[in-house]
Structure 1
Amino acid sequence: MNIKICKWYNNADSPVLLMVDDLANVWVDTSGNGKVGLGEDWGYDKNNKNSSYRYLNEVILKSYPNIKTTFFVPLGPRVGMIENSNIKFISKRIDCDEQTKSFFRQINDSPKYEIAYHGTTHGKVGKTTSDFIQEWELYQSLDQAIESINKGKKIYKEVFDGYPKGGKYCGYKGGKYGDESIDQTGFLWWNRYFNKDMGTASKCDIGKDFNPLTNFDIKIFGKNNVIDIPATVYGGMFNGCVHLNINTIKGIAKSILKPWLINKKYKELQYLLNNKLVISIQEHISPARNDSRRQKPNIFDDKESLHMIFEYLKDKNVWYCTGTELAEYYFIRNNIRIIKKNKQFEIEVMYDKKIQNKNITIKISNTSAEAIILPNGIRMKGNKNVYNIPIIDGVYTII
C-alpha cells in the first residue's frame, strides 16, 4: 500500500485564483461630471449601480460562481499617480466610517473572497507619472518598513477583527527592505512577482535564470519561510487576439492568424495545467487614474479575455481557491508526515502555526480501498482512491 500526499487539494492539476489589485476607498472622476461613472470606481461606490465591485460580480464572474478572488487592498488613503491633477480624486481609509468598514468586511467574510494587504498609501506621487515611488521603495530602513506595516495591520484589524494572512508589494517593487520586512511581520504568504507570459522573465527582479517550472510555482523566502505565491497569468492575455483594428496591416494580419493566436494562448494555460503549476490571474479593479492614463490590466478592458480564460478552465481538473487557502494547503502538505502500518495510518503534524483549513488530499495505490474510517469514527468515501481528509489526531483505517 502506498499513500501519497497530493500536490494540490482534490488532486487538482492546478490551483486557480483571481488576483485583483487596488480595491480601495477611492473614486477617480475621469468624466468630471461629479457622478460615479462605470470604470471610475475603485471601491468608494461600494456595491452601487456603477461600482466596479458590482461589475466584477455581475459581468465578469456571474457565469463562473466557482472562481475565488483575492483582493489586494491599500488600506488608505491611497494616493493618486501625480500631484496637482485636474482630475478629481477622492481617497479615504477603509475604516473612515461604519458603512465603508461594513462593505469591506462583508467581502472578506464571503467564502468566495478575501482581503489581502497592499500597503497603506501605495507610494508617493511626483510631478509626473515617472516620478511616482512605490510604497516599499520609500522605506529608508528595516525598522521604518516594519513600523509602517504594523500601522497598516492595525487598520486591517480594526475593520476585519484579525490580521492579514498575505499581501503584495505595491507595483511589485519590494525595495531594499521588502522581503525582510514581510518576513518579520507575521505574514503566512506574499505575492512578490508577476510573470506576465511564458516567454518573458518577470519584470520584478527574478533574474536571468527564468524557468517556468519554478517561477510559475510556489516558493518560500525568509527565515520564517513565507510562502511566495506568484501571479502567473495576465488577465488580458487574449486582448491581442480579440481586439483587432482591421484598418491597419498589422490588424489584418492578426485577423487572418486569429485562430492560431488564440490557440497559442490556450497552450500557455495548458502548459500550466500539464505541469501542475499555479494559475493566478492578475487584474486591477479599475482602469481609472488621475494622470489620464489607463491602468492595465483591468477587469473592464479584459472582460472578453477573462471569459475566455474561465471558459477554458471550466471543464479542467482545477482547484478554485483564495491565496490563503492555497498557502495553507502548501504549508500543511510540507509540514506533515504519513506514518503507515498495514491498512492503518496516522498523520504526524510538524508545525504549531494556526492554520484554518486543516485538510489534506491523499491518493492510495497498490491496494483496494472502499473508504477511510477517520479517527473520529466517520466513514469517508473517495474518488478513484483520492481522499480529501481532515487532519485529526489518531488512527485512520483503510477498508
Structure 2
Amino acid sequence: MHIDKCKWYNDAESPVLFMIDDLANTWVDTNNNGQVDWGEDWGYFRDEDRSSFRFLQERLLVHFPDVKVTFFVPVGVRVGMMDRPLFKQVSLPINADEASKDFFQSIHHHPRFEIAYHGTTHGKVGSRATDFIQEWELFRSVEEAVERIGEGIAIYEDAIGERPQGGKYCGYMSNEHSDESINQAGFTWWCRYWNRGSEHGDPISGLDKNPLTNYDVKRFASQGVIDIPSTLDGGLLRGVYQADMSVKGIAKRLLRKPIVRWKLREIDYLLEHRLVISIQEHIAPARDDGQRQSPNIFDDCTSLVGIFHYLEDKKVWYCTGTELANYVNVRDHVQVVLLEEDRFIFDHDTKYTGQEITLKFEEVQPCRILLPNLHAIDVVAGVVTVPVLQGEYTILKGGV
C-alpha cells in the first residue's frame, strides 16, 4: 500500500485566499464634510454605519459564507500619500484606545478572519504621490528593519493579544535588507511580490518567470519562511461590469459572457495546475492626494461576486494566510512511515502534534482509519484528513 500526503488540505485543487490591504485606524474625508461617506473609511469607523468593514460584510461576505479574509494592517499611524494633502486624513495606531483594540482583536479572533502585519506607517511621504517611499525601502540595515518591526509587533500584541504570524511588504517593495529582517523577526509566512507582475508588465515582481513555481508557495531565508504568492487582481472582471455608454462600452455589454469566460482563464490556469489563488484588494479607495486607490472592494464588488460565484462549484479550500502556512509546514515536515499493510505512524516534531494533514491512498476502496486515540475517520474516494498524533494508525478495510 502507498500513502501520499496531499498538496492541499482536503485534497483541494487550489487554496483560495482573499487578501485585503490597509485595514487601518484611518479615515480620509474626501469631501471635507466632517462625516464618513462610503469609500472614505479604512477602518477608523470600525463596524459602524457606512464603514468599509460594514460594506464588506453586507455587500459581499454575507453571500459567500465559506470565504475567509486575511487583512493586512499598518499598525501605527498610517501616513497619507503626500506632505501637502488635498484632503484631511485622520490616522491613529490600532491600539490607540479600547474601542480600536476591541475592533481589531474581534476581527482576528473571528474564525473567518485574520489580522496580518503590514508595517507601522506604510512608508514616507514626499511632495508628490510619486515620491512616496514604501516602508521596507527605507531601512538602511537589517538591524534598523528588525527594530522597527519590533515596535510594530509591540503595537500589534497590545491590540490583538498575540504576535502576528505573517504579513506583506508595503507596496510589494523591498531592498537587500528586507528578507533577512522578516527572517529574524520570526514570521511564519510573508507576501513578497505581486506575482502576476512579470506577465502583466508590472515591475513589482520577483525574478521567477515560471508560472508553475511563481504562483506556488516557496520558502526563503534560513528559517524557511513561507512565501505566499499574490496571484489574482480582485478587479479581474471590473471592466466587464462597469457602466459605460461609449461604443466600446456597449460592445462589451453585448459580448459580456464571452469576455467574462476569457478573463476567467486566469483562474482556470491556477486550478488546473493546483496553484495558489490569492485575491488582492484594498479596503477603501479614498486617498488624501485625490487619486483613487486600486484595486478596492468598492469598485470591484461586482467583480468579486463574479469570481466567488465562479469558484462555488470548484474543489477549493478557503483559508487564511496562517492556515495555509500551517498546512504547508505539516505537509513538508511530517513523514508517513508505513509499518505494515494496515498500519502506519507519523514521524514528526511534537510541535506539529494535533495539526491536520490530508492523505491519499493508492487503493481507493472505502475504508476507515482508526486513530491512536481509537477514534475512527472515514476515507472517501481514497482521501482522508487526520490529526497528527503519537502512536499507530490502523487502516480498516470495507468501511463506508
The interval holding the TM-score normalised by the smaller chain is: over 0.9
Whole-Å Cα distance in 1 between the matches of residues 253 and 59 of structure 2?
26
Whole-Å Cα distance in 2 between the matches of residues 84 and 367 of structure 1?
66
Whole-Å Cα distance in 2 between the matches of residues 93 and 145 of structure 1?
19
Instruction: Indicate conservation of the 8 Å contact 1:198/1:268, yes or no.
Output: no
Aligned pairs for 1:270-281 (under 5 A) are 270-281=268-279
Residue 223 of structure 2 aligns to which amino acid in structure 1?
N
Tell me how far 1:21 sits from its aligned partner.
Answer: 0.2
Whole-Å Cα distance in 2 between the matches of residues 75 and 125 of structure 1?
17
Q: Find 1:391's aligned residue among 388, 391, 399.
A: 388
Number of the residue aligned with 2:307: 309
Number of the residue aligned with 1:137: 137
Number of the residue aligned with 2:256: 258
Whole-Å Cα distance in 2 between the matches of residues 324 and 179 of structure 1?
18
Whole-Å Cα distance in 2 between the matches of residues 107 and 223 of structure 1?
32
Q: Secondary structure at the match of 1:389?
A: strand
Q: How many residues align?
A: 395
Tell me how far 1:200 sits from its aligned partner.
Answer: 2.6
Q: Is 2:171 the partner of 1:171?
A: yes
Whole-Å Cα distance in 2 between the matches of residues 41 and 205 of structure 1?
29
Q: Is 2:145 the partner of 1:148?
A: no
Whole-Å Cα distance in 1 between the matches of residues 353 and 96 of structure 2?
29
Residue 24 of structure 2 aligns to which amino acid in structure 1?
A
Instruction: Indicate conservation of the 8 Å contact 2:25/2:94, yes or no.
Output: yes
For residues 72-92 of structure 1, give each alpha carbon's deviation from its aligned partner in whole angstroms, at most 9, with x where no partner exists: 000010000011213110000
Whole-Å Cα distance in 1 between the matches of residues 194 and 354 of structure 2?
26
Tell me how far 1:299 sits from its aligned partner.
Answer: 0.2
Whole-Å Cα distance in 2 between the matches of residues 302 and 229 of structure 1?
23
Q: Is 2:233 the partner of 1:234?
A: yes
Q: Find 2:290's aligned residue among 281, 289, 292.
A: 292
Root-mean-square deviation over aligned CA pairs: 1.6
Instruction: Indicate conservation of the 8 Å contact 1:201/1:210, yes or no.
Output: no
Tell me how far 1:260 sits from its aligned partner.
Answer: 2.4
Tell me how far 1:287 sits from its aligned partner.
Answer: 0.2
Whole-Å Cα distance in 2 between the matches of residues 198 and 359 of structure 1?
35
For residues 349-397 of structure 1, give each alpha carbon's deviation from its aligned partner in whole angstroms, at most 9, with x where no partner exists: 1x46x55971000011236442100000101112212111000000000
Q: Is 2:269 the partner of 1:267?
A: no
> Relative to 1, partners in 2 of residues 1:242 and 1:223: Cα closer, same or farther, differing over 3 Å?
same
Q: TM-score, normalised by structure 2?
A: 0.95
Instruction: Indicate conservation of the 8 Å contact 2:195/2:205, yes or no.
Output: no
Task: Percent identity, please.
Answer: 49
Number of the residue aligned with 1:243: 242
> Relative to 1, partners in 2 of residues 1:98 and 1:367: Cα closer, same or farther, differing over 3 Å?
closer
For residues 15-73 of structure 1, give each alpha carbon's deviation from its aligned partner in whole angstroms, at most 9, with x where no partner exists: 00100000000000001100011110000000001100011011011110100000000
Number of the residue aligned with 2:101: 101
Whole-Å Cα distance in 1 between the matches of residues 42 and 364 of structure 2?
54
Number of the residue aligned with 2:328: 330
> Relative to 1, partners in 2 of residues 1:356 and 1:60: Cα closer, same or farther, differing over 3 Å?
farther
Aligned pairs for 1:91-130 (under 5 A) are 91-130=91-130
Residue 112 of structure 1 aligns to which amino acid in structure 2?
R
Q: Is 2:359 the partner of 1:359?
A: no
Residue 213 of structure 2 aligns to which amino acid in structure 1?
T
Whole-Å Cα distance in 2 between the matches of residues 397 and 21 of structure 1?
45
Tell me how far 1:161 sits from its aligned partner.
Answer: 1.7
Residue 143 of structure 1 aligns to which amino acid in structure 2?
E
Residue 233 of structure 1 aligns to which amino acid in structure 2?
L
Worse-matched range after superposition: 364-373 or 337-346: 364-373
Tell me how far 1:202 sits from its aligned partner.
Answer: 5.5
Instruction: Indicate conservation of the 8 Å contact 2:353/2:388, yes or no.
Output: no
Q: TM-score, normalised by structure 1?
A: 0.96
Number of the residue aligned with 2:20: 20
> Relative to 1, partners in 2 of residues 1:22 and 1:271: Cα closer, same or farther, differing over 3 Å?
same
Over 6 Å off, 4+ runs = none
Aligned pairs for 1:217-228 (under 5 A) are 217-228=216-227
Worse-matched range after superposition: 210-219 or 63-72: 210-219
Tell me how far 1:198 sits from its aligned partner.
Answer: 8.7
Worse-matched range after superposition: 380-389 or 21-30: 380-389
Residue 140 of structure 2 aligns to which amino acid in structure 1?
Q
Number of the residue aligned with 2:53: 53
Instruction: Indicate conservation of the 8 Å contact 2:195/2:206, yes or no.
Output: no
Whole-Å Cα distance in 1 between the matches of residues 205 and 106 of structure 2?
36
Number of the residue aligned with 2:8: 8
Residue 139 of structure 1 aligns to which amino acid in structure 2?
F
Q: Secondary structure at the match of 1:381?
A: strand
Q: Secondary structure at the match of 1:62?
A: helix
Whole-Å Cα distance in 2 between the matches of residues 234 and 186 of structure 1?
29
Provide structure 1 residue ranges, at least 5 long, that are not aligned to the other structure: none
Whole-Å Cα distance in 1 between the matches of residues 47 and 353 of structure 2?
29
Q: Secondary structure at the match of 2:167?
A: coil
